Structure 1
């Protein structure tokens, strides 16, 4: 959890500063790509705020109304990010880019004087985007390090498996968002430079539309990932098989009649099992066996938070 929070804080600081700089560059140039990138960075900043709210809310202790805790709050707030922030920002960016393609709007040539020197405004946009790439690279490196740490800890072999298996949607969101932010800044940079060099507005306008498509595509992917967890997805099949085998192979267990798992938080797993025990076990011995089963499950994966074993004699 601490790793996820540091990733979000790093992205929040970077995106907040970048949003202000991009908006300033848009006011100076009127570039469609810079407006799309402004929408992008504003949505990224709001994204981090939502994720921090989710982290804080999910840390609440279990209560009578929520006996398995509030861990799913992170799934919910991450889902809000995809729908409210990335979806809206993506649509506005795409619409603005489409209008620029149709009506021929492009960045306004001009100059700006700073510290006694006069610069073409296009260099302001280039400088802001290069700065954005530097900031986003820093945030991306942080998110990538946390995701790689989880991959090593849980034995995921590649990013695709990590995306399908992780329940840490906060790190997943930050990692993907930072990657999209780098792609968006690169697109805007290419579009602005090409439009300036060729004098053709189409490059800047198309870049703006492509940034919108990137955001909308990410919104759909993130919403899909959160849907599986909000609906109560079980742990990956191989991990579930390991859990069930640990119970089945425990001395005194004759059969596992029913076995279920579910993610109830980013790093919280619920395990329930109906287990048949051999004859001759008294209540004390049965309690001790169930306690040892719980210990084995937690040793196998430290995310196991809740274990309920129902003995079937």
Structure 2
């Protein structure tokens, strides 16, 4: 087993520092905006503004989750967790998605339904103040979103930049916040013009629906990564092509990959070597192949080769081996 941990940690940690700054910017903006929205919502008696306050509170707590993910996922491997703590990043991102759903989405639905049932107290001066608060929030959320998108572009664009669940969550939260503020402003303005609270109630319901959808998408992606997502097809293809190009490998029987963190992947391959190699030669070939894989795919930090023997494979197809069952092949072992 070989790796390039020393070379790979520095770029990863540098990206983490940038992501941490992005999360802190979003956290500061959301804390200030949440207080302003809550005060404005109570003064104006606006369900849409209160929904947005809940949205900002949820985002603030989620950013704390993301900061924990950035810190804890970089802990080195130990005896209890031999493959490291990279998946903590996915776990805390899942909690952030649950927070968006419960705190933001459910409260917004509640505010919308209550407004439809009981109406809302109208206060022209309060609504004007509320619109001013939302205008400031729009600018602050927009600035935070631009900061996050700038980092995404700096890390290779949407395809590569959004691989990081922490950065992906910030972009989703800020984008949703900009849309949510727009819904709230439209609902409040139409309520003021028409005197019908249904516009504001619909805005709250729209904000709730938006938050639930975003939470579902983020949660589904975090779930897939926690379960054990395979490496992307391009990386798997490069590994398979490298294995097939080795003169000592007769065939690649199976190739398994699993992401163990943001920039770390476990690779396990079952290969059939050409006949005539002694044990010392097999060991040399295995070491060389593992090093070639880590050079070709730097995120492949853990590489395992299961070398099968042609004579054993042919024997496995004989009637005697078939009678003994699958255990006779010994293919569950590792090298």
State TM-score, norm by structure 1. 0.86
Equivalents in 1 of 2:264, 2:171: separation in Å?
21
1:50 to 59, 65, 71: 65
C-alpha deviation, 1:41, in angstroms: 0.1
Unaligned runs of 5+ in 1: 110-119, 153-158
CA contact (8 A) 1:167 1:263 kept: no
What's the counterpart of residue 237 of structure 1? 233
Worse-superposed segment, 244-253 or 210-219: 244-253
Equivalents in 2 of 1:186, 1:192: separation in Å?
10
CA contact (8 A) 1:106 1:204 kept: no
Q: Does 1:132 align with 2:137?
A: yes
C-alpha deviation, 1:279, in angstroms: 4.1
CA contact (8 A) 1:11 1:139 kept: yes
Q: Does 1:303 align with 2:303?
A: no
CA contact (8 A) 1:254 1:278 kept: yes
Equivalents in 1 of 2:151, 2:297: separation in Å?
18
2:118 to 84, 103, 110: 103
Distance 1:259 1:213, change over 3 A: same
Distance 1:196 1:67, change over 3 A: same
CA contact (8 A) 2:86 2:262 kept: yes
Distance 1:24 1:312, change over 3 A: same
Q: Does 1:201 align with 2:216?
A: no
Distance 1:145 1:97, change over 3 A: same
Task: Provide the secondary structure at the position in 1 that maps to 2:80.
Answer: coil
State TM-score, norm by structure 2. 0.81
C-alpha deviation, 1:102, in angstroms: 2.4
1:6 to 11, 18, 21: 21
Worse-superposed segment, 195-204 or 262-271: 195-204
2:74 to 59, 64, 78: 59
C-alpha deviation, 1:30, in angstroms: 1.2
C-alpha deviation, 1:177, in angstroms: 1.1
Q: Provide Cα deviations, 1:103-161, integer angstroms capped at 9, x if missing partner.
A: 2225433xxxxxxxxxx332321221122111111221222233334445xxxxxx5xx
C-alpha deviation, 1:166, in angstroms: 5.7
C-alpha deviation, 1:44, in angstroms: 0.2
Distance 1:166 1:28, change over 3 A: closer
Worse-superposed segment, 16-25 or 294-303: 294-303
C-alpha deviation, 1:289, in angstroms: 3.5
Unaligned runs of 5+ in 2: 1-15, 310-335
Q: CA RMSD in A?
A: 2.2
Task: Provide the secondary structure at the position in 2 that maps to 1:231.
Answer: helix
Distance 1:307 1:6, change over 3 A: farther
Q: Provide Cα deviations, 1:188-231, integer angstroms capped at 9, x if missing partner.
A: 11111121122222212211111111111111111111111111
Aligned length: 294
Equivalents in 1 of 2:198, 2:185: separation in Å?
14
What's the counterpart of residue 269 of structure 2? 273
CA contact (8 A) 1:101 1:205 kept: yes
Task: Provide the secondary structure at the position in 2 that maps to 1:125.
Answer: helix
Q: Does 1:23 align with 2:28?
A: no
2:51 to 27, 31, 36: 36
